[in-house]
Structure 1
Amino acid sequence: MKKLTYTIKINKPVEFVFGKMTDKEAYPGWAKAWGEGMAYEGEWKEGGHISFFDTSGQGTKVVVEEIVPNVSIKMKHVAMIEEGNKEVKGLDETMQKWIGSQEDYFFNALSGDETELKIVIEADEAFEEMMQAWPKALEYLKEICEA
């Protein structure tokens, strides 16, 4: 597993940034770093499952391991999904390596109304290129928050 960290400062209060990051309507605007039409289904609550998917319905399912509003979100990838939010069976060797990947978000209130958002990903090296979209996603989120 490789650990990747991405950080950005956003000129809005931490509650606002947390809200936009988890907002179903705002999500496609910052997740477009991975493709247009991204969406999710599920609830941001401990033990809850969230499915993140593209316009074809393909994506990944996570379990929310821990959520502290305005502070942190910790998620583990537990399945790949296809259209209809069905879990994909018989994953190839590479995709099996995605299962168990960790994705954590940390929200830090700075002085004034500024927030530092840190994303920490622990995933197999095979997915490092896919994770390189995070800096662009964070820039999109910053634009959404500061608009």
Structure 2
Amino acid sequence: MKKMNYQITIDAPVDHVFKTMLDKETYKKWTAAFNPTSDFEGSWEKGAKIYFIGINKDGEKEGMVAEIADHIPNKYISIRHYGILNKGKEITEGPAVEDWAGSFENYTFEDLGSKTLLKIDLDTNEEYLDYFDETWPKALQILKEISEK
């Protein structure tokens, strides 16, 4: 696994950025950079299962199965990925998940007064390095724009 890091300063208070990042409708907007049908099902509460999903070209739901490893409101979210959703079925072991199962995606929110420094740290494999380097900055720019409205 490779560690990747991204960050952005957003001209909005931390509580607003935190809410904008996680609320259902605004989540779909900023994560559209990864997949135009991006969505989530589940809860952001610590210990909860959450699905990060989209609709594939065949109209079927697919995506990631994860657990919220930690959640400190307005400060930190940690997501532990452990499976995939394929045609409505969870796959949590075997070749489809063994290269990245147990990877983390962490969000740290630093209060800069009227601004927020958002830091993203994530684990990934070689296959996604270029994709994430291209897509994460786009997603964070969208989050910045919708948070600053």
Richer in strand (by share): 2
The alignment's C-alpha RMSD in Å is 1.5
Q: Is there any run of 5+ residues in structure 1 with no aligned partner, and where?
A: none
Q: Secondary structure at the match of 1:144?
A: helix
Q: Deviations over 1:6-58 (max 9, x none)?
A: 00000100000000111111111000111211110010111001100112311
Q: Is there any run of 5+ residues in structure 2 with no aligned partner, and where?
A: none
Q: Deviations over 1:54-101 (max 9, x none)?
A: 1231110111111000000011101111233x21367536x4212111
Provide the residue aligned with 1:127 in structure 2: 128
> Runs ≥4 in structure 1, deviation > 3 angstroms?
89-93
User: TM-score, normalization: structure 1?
Assistant: 0.91
Provide the residue aligned with 1:136 in structure 2: 138
Match 2:90 to one of 87, 91, 102: 87
CA 1:89–1:15: 2 relative to 1, 3 Å: closer
Q: Secondary structure at the match of 1:33?
A: coil
The answer to whether residue 75 in structure 2 is matched with residue 74 in structure 1 is no
Question: 1:131 and 1:91 mapped to 2: Cα distance?
Answer: 24
User: TM-score, normalization: structure 2?
Assistant: 0.90
Question: How many residues end up aligned between the 2 structures?
Answer: 144
CA 1:90–1:79: 2 relative to 1, 3 Å: closer
What amino acid is the match of 1:106? T
Question: 1:89 and 1:2 mapped to 2: Cα distance?
Answer: 21
Q: Deviations over 1:106-140 (max 9, x none)?
A: 000103x1000000002222222332211111001
Provide the residue aligned with 1:30 in structure 2: 30
Q: Is the 8 A contact 2:51 2:66 kept in 1?
A: yes
Question: 1:134 and 1:91 mapped to 2: Cα distance?
Answer: 28
